[in-house]
């Protein structure tokens, strides 16, 4: 077993061994995956023990690898103990624009449920808790009718595959059958192109079977009700973007956005918890999916005085770098802001939630007044944050922008979206992966928060 005295390189090597092993299992040796129950449980435990320290010690892209492996390992460990988690270790998509087959191999039999959604057309396959170890680093090649293939945790004990289809489809065949005689199973899903009318009708029929929407939104990490000691403290909500099945932006060098946002959010939490007057709430502290509306609800339930949503997206223009602070606006302040908002607002869709959030018509004049006041506060904080960060970290041109981000919509909670930088830019990747940069930037955010809140605390607001 590793101890805290061991060198990071040793840890990395051992972690890599397990990653390689997982890779091999995913690619070529379906039968040998069974060994994860036995020998690999040991490795998995080893990583869990190590991950906390590793996160403290390691810099660079390795951090992300550790994060990913650690979260997988945590689930792998459960397999050893309870046998409850399935492992999907092989997948293949084949076919053409009229008929496409998805094959997924599991280490055991799983119950699955399929569900069609539209706008955009998607086929959801709901599964029990599953570790996906396909060995392609989440970038599965897609063919035929399937234009996007993603998978991951959607709620505790539940996993999901989301297939974006380029046309309306129906299931021609869906089976799960033994693969050989050692308890492994193959899920085979044949989809064929259908017309929009038939698709609509199928969706209508399925809604009768499963209730209104089939919508599964994870309720967020349970928020403990605060006791009286927290009564006079001011609540700040930190919202690490993405999580679980929703990885956010991705790049080879940086890994996935969901890990970058969580790492920064945890650093910010540590900084903010040093301030006695603050009570810090996170919308997620682990690699779990939380819907956009649930993030907003967490801020509202906790009567937050400020919400900071953390992101690190990707742009086609690799040269663009630096941080941006966004506030809510119905119209984007520019095309970049609008682009960003559109891609962020797709989070729930890509995770397979059925009903995209709509702009609800504001009928209540009081809500409208609150919203306007909140907008002023949000902008004030954004300005304070920009001036605190200026000269300390790279900012993009006109770093204070506005667009219609769903996650900033709480009418009474001043909210900003802090885009740390772009994972499409090498220098930004480097700094976001540096624990030192994260700590210093988090400390600057803390200063900005206190500069913004202090007059309010003094006025007893
Ligand atoms: Zn994002």
Give mean pLDDT in consecutive 10-residue pieces for the chain, a chain of 461 residues: 37 36 36 33 34 34 32 35 77 94 95 88 92 77 90 86 93 93 94 90 68 38 43 91 92 89 98 95 94 93 96 91 94 83 85 59 68 92 97 95 93 96 95 96 97 85 68
Residue 282 CA, ligand 1 centroid: distance in Å: 16
Residue 313 CA, ligand 1 centroid: distance in Å: 5
pLDDT at 208: 53
pLDDT at 355: 53
Residue 455 CA, ligand 1 centroid: distance in Å: 31
Strand ranges across the sheet with 146-155: 113-117, 122-128, 158-165, 146-155
pLDDT at 146: 94
Residue 242 CA, ligand 1 centroid: distance in Å: 6
Residue 207 CA, ligand 1 centroid: distance in Å: 31
Residue 241 CA, ligand 1 centroid: distance in Å: 6
Burial of 192 (0-12, 13-18, 19+ CB in 10 A): middle
Residue 13 CA, ligand 1 centroid: distance in Å: 31
Residue 284 CA, ligand 1 centroid: distance in Å: 14
* Model pTM score: 0.68
Residue 122 CA, ligand 1 centroid: distance in Å: 21
User: Domains of the chain, with CATH numbers?
Assistant: 8-82 (no CATH), 86-210 (2.60.40.3500), 228-459 (3.40.630.40)
pLDDT at 427: 95
Size of the chain in residues:
461
Residue 131 CA, ligand 1 centroid: distance in Å: 23
Neighbours of ion ligand 1 (CB under 5 A): 241, 248, 311, 313
């Amino acid at each position: 077993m590793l101890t805290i005295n061991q060198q990071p390189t040793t840890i990395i090597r051992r972690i890599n061994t397990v990653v390689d092993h997982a890779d091999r299992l995913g690619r070529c040796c379906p039968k040998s995956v069974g060994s994860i129950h036995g020998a690999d449980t040991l490795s998995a435990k080893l990583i869990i023990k190590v991950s906390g320290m590793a996160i403290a010690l390691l810099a660079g892209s390795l951090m992300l690898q550790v994060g990913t492996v650690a979260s997988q390992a945590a689930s792998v460990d459960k397999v050893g103990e309870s046998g409850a988690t399935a492992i999907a270790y092989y997948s293949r998509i084949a076919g053409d624009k009229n008929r496409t087959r998805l094959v997924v191999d599991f280490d055991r039999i799983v119950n699955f449920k399929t569900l069609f959604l539209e706008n955009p057309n998607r086929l959801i396959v709901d599964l029990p808790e599953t570790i996906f170890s396909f060995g392609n680093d989440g970038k599965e090649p897609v063919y035929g009718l399937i234009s996007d293939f993603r998978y991951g945790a959607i709620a505790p004990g539940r996993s999901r595959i989301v297939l974006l289809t380029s046309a309306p489809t129906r299931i021609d065949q869906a089976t799960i059958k033994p693969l050989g005689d050692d308890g492994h199973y193959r899920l085979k899903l044949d989809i064929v192109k259908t017309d929009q009318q038939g698709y609509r009708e199928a969706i209508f029929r399925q809604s009768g079977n499963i209730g209104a929407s089939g919508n599964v939104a994870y309720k967020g990490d349970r928020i403990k009700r605060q006791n009286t000691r927290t009564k006079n403290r001011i609540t700040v909500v930190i919202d690490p973007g993405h999580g679980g099945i929703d990885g956010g932006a991705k790049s080879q060098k940086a890994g996935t956005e969901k890990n970058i946002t969580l790492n920064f959010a945890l650093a910010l939490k540590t900084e903010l918890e040093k301030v006695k007057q603050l009570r810090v709430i996170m919308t997620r502290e682990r690699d779990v999916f939380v819907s956009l509306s649930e993030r907003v609800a967490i801020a509202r339930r906790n009567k937050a005085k400020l919400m900071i949503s953390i992101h690190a997206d990707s742009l086609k223009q690799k040269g663009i770098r630096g941080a941006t602070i966004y506030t809510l606006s119905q119209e984007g302040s520019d095309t970049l802001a609008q682009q960003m908002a559109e891609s962020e607002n797709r989070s729930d869709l890509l995770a397979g939630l059925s009903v995209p959030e709509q702009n609800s018509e504001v009928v209540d004049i009081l809500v409208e007044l609150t919203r306007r006041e909140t907008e002023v506060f949000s902008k004030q904080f954004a300005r304070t944050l920009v001036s605190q960060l200026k000269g300390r970290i790279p900012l993009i041109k006109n770093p204070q922008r506005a667009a219609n981000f769903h996650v900033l919509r709480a009418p009474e909670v001043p909210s900003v979206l802090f885009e740390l930088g772009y994972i499409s830019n090498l220098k930004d990747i480097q700094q976001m992966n540096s624990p030192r940069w994260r700590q210093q930037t988090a400390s600057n955010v803390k200063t900005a928060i206190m500069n913004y809140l202090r007059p309010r605390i003094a006025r007893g607001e």
